[in-house]
Structure 1
Amino acid sequence: MTIKITKGIYQLVEEANQVVEEISVEQAQALHGQDGIQFVDIRDVRELQRDGVIPGAYHCPRGMLEFWVDPESPYAKEIFQQELTFVLYCGGGLRSALAGRTIIDMGLTNVKHVHGGFAAWRKAGGQIEEYKKG
């Protein structure tokens, strides 16, 4: 028996992109390093170890995002309690769209995500550094 999916990932991402501002890698590069802008890397730690990171990005694994954003959560992180513009990215731009929609639904308002994610950043010659645990 095959399970019937009523809404697939691409439809979910398309719907998320109606809510979350999707920015180009060029727009992301222009924002990188500006005051009030916080890049958030939602990739799995193995991706960071393998591919590197965007300097200054805060690592928040996708599976912990809601728990780290919610100030009532025992796992809340101070960075998400600040008035910042959060620029989310993942490997290719799908997870970051979904994650962006989720945190907008939670009440954050200044949220963007990078079209094409880390792969697009790398292809465009964006600054990358080795991942350092910590």
Structure 2
Amino acid sequence: MAKGYKDMLAEADAVVASVTAAEIAPRIEADGVVMVDIRDPRELEREGMIPGAFHAPRGMLEFWIDPESPYHKPRFAEGATYVFYCASGWRSLLAAKVAQEMGLDARSLRGGFGGWKTDGHPVAEKTRPGG
């Protein structure tokens, strides 16, 4: 029988450390913590993002992480703790699992960007390139 998304989320939750907005907010400015926003660019333009976060669209994540990929991004070779987030935390939990499997020190932001905003943490505006 095929796995459903709930099974996949449960598996990821069992192996990926998750942090809350309250836990990670004071550490964002610290060396070695990189917030990674995996949402679609339209979501960022509409909702904003965590200040200083690195945008890595979910569809490119594996290619950007792998140093042998022609699409590799040096940001993923810094030896940092990477905290992935999406709108609610589901996509980022799966993304953090993949990143962890690829050798990164990866975490997921429990509650996602929605939880971040609900808790009253700062939001930065994301504009279109050139605009």
Residue 62 of structure 2 corresponds to residue 62 of structure 1 = no
Aligned to 1:119: 114
Residue 103 of structure 2 corresponds to residue 107 of structure 1 = yes
Which consecutive segments of 4 or more residues in structure 1 shift more than 2 A? none
Shift of residue 106, structure 1, vs aligned partner: 1.1
Shift of residue 133, structure 1, vs aligned partner: 3.8
SS at match of 2:68: coil
> Counterparts of 2:88 and 2:24 in 1: how far apart (Å)?
14
Aligned to 1:131: 126
TM-score after normalising by structure 2: 0.94
Question: What amino acid does structure 1 have at the position aligned with 2:71?
Answer: Y
How many residue pairs end up in the alignment? 129
CA RMSD of aligned residues (A): 1.1
Give the unaligned 5+ runs of structure 1.
none
> Counterparts of 1:15 and 1:30 in 2: how far apart (Å)?
29
Equivalent residues in 2 for 1:1-134, closer than 5 Å: 6-108=2-104, 110-134=105-129
Identity of aligned residues (%): 44
Give the unaligned 5+ runs of structure 2.
none
SS at match of 1:18: helix
SS at match of 2:15: coil
SS at match of 1:129: coil
> Counterparts of 2:103 and 2:5 in 1: how far apart (Å)?
23
Shift of residue 64, structure 1, vs aligned partner: 0.3
